[in-house]
Amino acid sequence: MSTAGDIAARGKARRKGDLPEKTCASCGRPFAWRRKWAAVWDEVRHCSDRCRRSRNGVAR
């Protein structure tokens, strides 16, 4: 049986606090990396679809 420490040592698990963060281009709030953005993390600028659609936010 493997423990959480064993899994983290193999690189499969990360704590939420250890994930990379960016600031949303629309609302200016910080948001963390998500697995679905793994391949395109450099291109992600907005925290949600709602912010992406509005695009006329505060910190543009």
pLDDT digits (tens, 9 = 90+) for 2-23: 454 444 455 667 787 889 999 9
- Residue of 24, 27, 29 lying closest to 46 (CA atoms): 24
CA distances from 47 to 6, 18, 43 (A): 31, 18, 12
Model confidence at 37, in pLDDT bands (50, 70, 90)? very high
Partners of 30 in the β-ladder: 23
Q: What are phi and psi of 32, to 5 degrees?
A: -100, 160
The pLDDT tens digits of the residues spanning 41-57 come to: 999 999 999 999 987 65
Question: pLDDT value at position 56?
Answer: 67
